[in-house]
Amino acid sequence: MTTLTKSVLATVRATLTLEDELLRETGKVDKKVESWGIMARVAPLLYTWAQGQLAMLQGWVGRILEGENWTAATQHRGAAGRSAVEVSKAAGDVLETLFDMDLAVPPGVVRCLVEGVDGVLQRYCEAAVREVGSADSLVPPAPPLTRCAACVGMKRHHRQGSSFFPC
């Protein structure tokens, strides 16, 4: 095995099930039966798969950043970039694929993949902030203060002796 395909994953799952059954059955008779160590042999493939997924995700994010038109977000208040949704979906798909393998994935593989996805998302966020600008440039200025005509009328009413003053 040199790559991690769906058929390899199915074979590994079947082998793990068979190993569990055989250990359960032979463990009743002979206490010296040892595990085959399937996951120890599959772990390097899982690390290689994780590195390949991260390389693919970095390529996607690079293409997404190149294709994004950042001026639309700065000119039209409240407009969100489509790339944020695409990057979020791509990162979620990578993590979902790992957990859909239905294997007891070693913690190191999970950590490697999560830290890699975190790095890719950090790269995207830094590029977005660099292109869009600071939050102060996106926040519209505060509108000038105005008085409500009803409040002005109430103040006049209050001066005439009413104790009710809502404004």
Whole-angstrom Cα distance, residue 117 to residue 35? 33
Residue that has been written with the tokens 């997404």 in this structure: 64
**What pLDDT score was predicted for residue 42?**
84
Which residues are within 8 A (CB) of 2 and not within 5 positions of it... i.e. 6 or more apart? 45
CB-CB contact of 36 with 19 (8 Å): yes
At 79, phi and psi to the nearest 5? -80, 125
SS3 content of the chain, % helix, strand, coil (to 5): 70, 0, 30
Write out the chain's pLDDT in tens, 167 residues.
Answer: 566 777 878 888 888 888 778 777 776 656 666 667 777 888 888 999 999 999 999 999 999 888 887 765 555 554 456 788 889 999 999 999 888 888 888 899 999 999 999 999 999 999 888 887 777 777 778 888 776 666 655 555 556 655 555 55
